Amino acid sequence: MQYRSGNEIRELFLRFFESKGHRRVHSSSLVPHNDPTLLFANAGMNQFKDLFLGAEKRDYARATTSQKCVRAGGKHNDLENVGFTRRHHTFFEMLGNFSFGDYFKKDAVAFAWELVTSEEWMGIPKDKLYVTIFEGDPANGVPRDDEAEQFWMAVGVPKERIFEYGLKDNFWQMGETGPCGPCSEVFFDLGLEASEHGKDLPFGQDDARYVEIWNLVFMQFDRSAIVEGGKTTGYKLTPLPKPSIDTGMGLERVAAVLQGKISNFETDLFTPLIERAAELTGVKNDVGNASLRIISDHARAATFLISDGVLPSNEGRGYVLRKILRRGIRHGRLLGQEQPFMCQMVYAVRDLMQGAYPELIDSADRVSKVVEAEEKQFDRVLKVGLTRLNEELKGDFTGAKAFHLYETFGLPLDFMMDAARDAHVAFDLEGFESARAEEQARARASWKGGAQKTASPAFRDLPKTVFEGYRQLESTDCKVLAIVKDGVGVPAASAGDSVEVVLDHTSFYADSGGQVGDMGFFLSPDGNSPVAEILGCVAPVQGVRAHKAVLKQDLAVGDAVKTVVNGERRNAIKRNHTGTHLLHAALRQVLGTHVKQAGSSVDSSRLRFDFSHFAQVADEELQEIEDIVNREVLANATVETLVDVPIDVAVNEYHAMALFGEKYGDKVRVVRLSDGFSTELCGGTHTNATGEIGLLKLTGESSVSSGVRRVEAISGLGSLATFRQDFDLAKLAGQYVPTAENLTEGLRAKFAAQDDELKKLRRELDEMRMKSAAGGLDDALAHAVDVKGIKLLTHRADMLERGQLRTLVDNLKQKLGEGVVVLASAQPEGKVAIIAGVTPGLTKRIQAGKLVGAVAKLVGGSGGGKPEIAEAGGKDQAQIDDALKAAPQLAADLMS
């Protein structure tokens, strides 16, 4: 068995399957494309899910990948184990080979055994390997996988090294329904030295010693629900017409095997990162140090997640990323590093993995900035968290409160337990674990989303729709291939029905890439009569276009129609879509190359563009961006479209930008503007030249989430309409500053002068009100009453601000010498303000807070405060006088 580096193993696996006729497919993003059931990509098959479900078609039936995966949230969550075990990771790479209805068990088993044992490839000794198969489940009608056993024996695996297990270990299913089947696993014996208890136990009795390195899933059944009386009473398995193969080999695990290591962390996939973590934290380089392991693992996960567009936040994927980062930061602090350091680990990850993932070269600086910002924020949060912990320890410190501090502020469990012990407070560990279990259940539920439905047979079995809309708005002699009504395929539909219609070719663009689908009409083949109004176009299955139609006359499968797209609407959409490309390029030019698209929406009225950036875009920057875009518009440069370009050529030679969240095939469409000013992979519709945009006007800039900003804009006739509105407004404003050379500056100066005048008038009004109120103080003093030996004065002073009322209270207290003052004031919007004051020597007998609360109840309000002065509010001005009259009795009732 020859030593091989992690990079060599990855390439060896992919090259082996290429030699067996497989297409090498690049890893998909960690953020699953259009799959709400999945938090992160966590297996190699994720990007092929639609192929297995029949919702997508590609020009190959065999594939091989090295897929980036993360398991740190929702159902698949290894976070708490990472660093303390040999083989748990948040981020890992899954090597896989896939057959989409091509070869099946026999070839899958033969390929696996050849790759693993052949000296030309991995050369793992056969006497170190074990294989498992599915034992069957007679109760559910699933037979034992005798086929797999025979195929394993046929390639040379001794029968005594083949073990059988049940549903839990050796049967896989995508969801409650859908493709499923038995699986076979390949295990490697690490030897007695890997045993955690030192006993020489046989296979199946020592998980630490016998490590699974490969899982082969044989998708041969379709699991469907048995429904009786509207309720699911069971499930049945039906053999698939085209069984498929899905395998997964953990790169980190097989690297440990081929490098003769017991722990994945001892392989060259981790040792450079552990060494760098030790340098940054100032401790000895020790691969057995759990904190260094955690830092190295979490640095990988954070780097790849942020590179793929995830940003730290308090919900969803961003929340999981935040937990990963903060756990890594906390372990750095345990090693004594209080300053930001995880941001430097990003470059160590880049240097180690840029060969397989060259996108890290461009994204590392941006990722590092995001990580550094999170480290600084976490430092602030920790300081607040410690203050909150000390406060909680003074009261009822429940497990739920501890978990809140753990989740919200990242305070470690052991830290809180030590603090509680030092404060002689019992720590509610059971309550903490209960709260954690509830949160995990919520997280799983929030991403459960139900099993993704298989595509309706009405769509799934159709050929791809030929799209002719890049060149023309009308297509003739379009044959109706399917009509779908209420999700069910029908042979015909009647006038007035709302249906989805699939044609063999069409001029209608379907919703995709942020661009809305076309609207328009179906006409009779001769173009003389309307057949249907088309309200939109979608792609329920990749490549198949479904027209959302309201029929004007009867329509049947096999009929022919003429498609007519609303040209005015399409042109408006084209202007906005081409505008987003110019806008993206201008944003990168002004703000920096860290700017990456994070989402977009293009319709006929506007465009919206979301992008990665860490601060609000200044008005001056927005103006510069707008200027750059419109210079490109005025240049009227040709919009060049290149079709069927190999993805590698598009990215590496044309330097086309691949956009976050989009799914690309092996051949792509490239849109180039202004001789390379902008080059992107894009399947949308565009203008022929930039000048057709007319004018692009930015209309807004805002925050979407932490690290993501949004700009909105209009173009073409939308810009003209806005210009006219602004022009009318300018004419109106000009009437108020007719002599100003610069209308904007003239308005600003006029408003400033008016604001100064208003402030002056308010001051004068306040002074008059105070004088008026002060003029009645002597009368109020003369009417002070004696309440149990204490002088109490009440007074009404309407429309005074609270600060003025407090001043009056202080003045009256001084004049009284010793006593109690209650002031009430009618306020704007029907509100009431009440303030009570008590001189210092009387606060043991009566407190202002209690008195003001009692008076406030009479005006429909409440309040409280300190013993010497307190405030309250109310909402019933009609009761102010009665409330003041009642104040002496209320005071008497409160006096001790």
Provide the strand spans (E) within 581-737: 597-602, 607-612, 639-646, 667-673, 678-681, 696-705, 708-715
Residues 6+ apart with CB under 8 A from 867: 838, 843, 847, 848, 849
User: pLDDT (tens digit, 9 = 90+) per residue, 180-200?
Assistant: 899 999 999 999 988 887 888
Mean pLDDT lowest among 168-172, 239-243, 350-354: 239-243
Q: Which carries the bigger pLDDT value, residue 447 or residue 556?
A: 556
Taking residues 58-67, report their average pLDDT. 90
Residues 6+ apart with CB under 8 A from 709: 610, 611, 612, 613, 616, 617, 701, 702, 703
| 450 band by pLDDT with thresholds 50, 70 and 90 | very low
For residue 546, pLDDT over 80 is answered with yes
For residue 462, pLDDT over 80 is answered with yes
Site of tokens 């929406």: 601
Mean pLDDT lowest among 56-60, 102-106, 206-210: 56-60
pLDDT at 453: 47
The CA distance from 204 to 211, in Å, is 10
For residue 409, pLDDT over 90 is answered with no
The CA distance from 291 to 414, in Å, is 14
| Contact call for residues 362 and 612 (beta carbons, < 8 A) | no
User: pLDDT over 70 for what percent of the chain?
Assistant: 94
Question: In Å, what is the CA distance from 527 to each residue of 314, 504, 524, 555?
Answer: 55, 18, 5, 15
The CA distance from 875 to 857, in Å, is 10
Looking at this protein, which amino acid is placed at residue 547? H
For residue 733, pLDDT over 80 is answered with no
Residues 6+ apart with CB under 8 A from 657: 584, 596, 597, 679, 680, 681
For residue 759, pLDDT over 90 is answered with no
| 658 band by pLDDT with thresholds 50, 70 and 90 | confident
pLDDT at 774: 65
Closest CA to 598 of 308, 304, 305: 308
pLDDT at 772: 65
- Residue 145 carries which DSSP code? -
What count of residues does the chain have?
896
| 438 band by pLDDT with thresholds 50, 70 and 90 | confident
User: pLDDT (tens digit, 9 = 90+) per residue, 211-252?
Assistant: 999 999 999 888 777 877 778 777 888 888 788 999 999 999
Q: Which tokens sit at 340?
A: 């930001």
For residue 697, pLDDT over 90 is answered with yes
| Contact call for residues 213 and 250 (beta carbons, < 8 A) | yes
Residue 486 burial by Cβ neighbours in a 10 Å radius (0-12, 13-18, 19+): exposed
For residue 629, pLDDT over 50 is answered with yes
pLDDT at 660: 53
- Residue 41 carries which DSSP code? -
For residue 123, pLDDT over 60 is answered with yes
pLDDT at 662: 60
pLDDT at 896: 66
| 447 band by pLDDT with thresholds 50, 70 and 90 | very low
The CA distance from 361 to 276, in Å, is 18
Q: Which tokens sit at 90?
A: 């948040």
User: pLDDT (tens digit, 9 = 90+) per residue, 197-220?
Assistant: 788 899 988 888 999 999 999 998
| Contact call for residues 56 and 63 (beta carbons, < 8 A) | no
Q: What is the mean pLDDT of the chain?
A: 88
DSSP-based three-state secondary structure for 543: coil
Q: Which tokens sit at 6?
A: 């992690």
